[in-house]
Amino acid sequence: MAELFTVTSEANPGRANAAIRALYSVIWVVFLLTPLTLAATSDAHPGWVALAVGATIAFGAAYVAGILRVDADAPKPAEPRGLAAACLALAALAAATIPAIGPGGALTFTPYFSALVAFGLPARRGIPAAIALWALPATGYVAAGGIVWHALGPGIGVVFIVVIRLAEAAESRARAVEEQKRLAEDRERVARDVHDLLGHSLTVVSLKAQLASRLVEADPQRARAELDEIYSLSRDALHEIRETVTRLREPTLESEAAAARRALAAAGIDADVDVSPGGGERDDLLAWALREAVTNVIRHSRATRCTVSAAGGSLTVADDGVGIDERSRPGFGIAGLKERAAAHRARLSVAAAYPDYPGTTPEQPGTRIEVTPWTP
Q: What residue ranges do the domains of the chain occupy?
A: 1-179, 253-373
Band (pLDDT 50/70/90 cuts) for residue 57 is very high
Read off the pLDDT of residues 159-170 as tens digits, 9 standing for 90 and up: 988 998 888 888
The mean pLDDT of 342-359, rounded to a whole number, is: 88
Band (pLDDT 50/70/90 cuts) for residue 22 is low
Instruction: Say which range, 34-43, 145-154, 279-288, 351-360, has the weakest mean pLDDT.
Output: 279-288
Tell the CATH superfamily of the 253-373 domain.
Histidine kinase-like ATPase, C-terminal domain (3.30.565.10)
Query: What are the strands, taking DSSP E only, across the chain?
Result: 270-275, 305-311, 314-319, 346-351, 367-373
The proportion of the chain whose per-residue pLDDT surpasses 90, expressed as a percent, equals 22
The mean pLDDT of 104-119, rounded to a whole number, is: 89
**Dihedrals φ, ψ of 359, to 5°?**
90, -5
The mean pLDDT of 26-36, rounded to a whole number, is: 84
- Any residues with CB less than 8 A from the CB of 178 and at least 6 apart, and which? none
Residue 157, CA distances (Å) to 24, 130, 153, 305 in order: 12, 11, 7, 78
CB 315 within 8 A of CB 371: yes
Distance of CA 109 to the CA centre of its chain: 41
Read off the pLDDT of residues 230-252 as tens digits, 9 standing for 90 and up: 888 888 777 777 666 654 455 68
Name the amino acid, one letter, at 157: G
Signed CA dihedral, 156, 160, 165, 166: sign only: positive
- Using only the alpha carbons of the chain, give its radius of gyration: 36
pLDDT at residue 96 in the model:
93
pLDDT at residue 132 in the model:
92
The mean pLDDT of 77-103, rounded to a whole number, is: 86
Name the amino acid, one letter, at 97: T
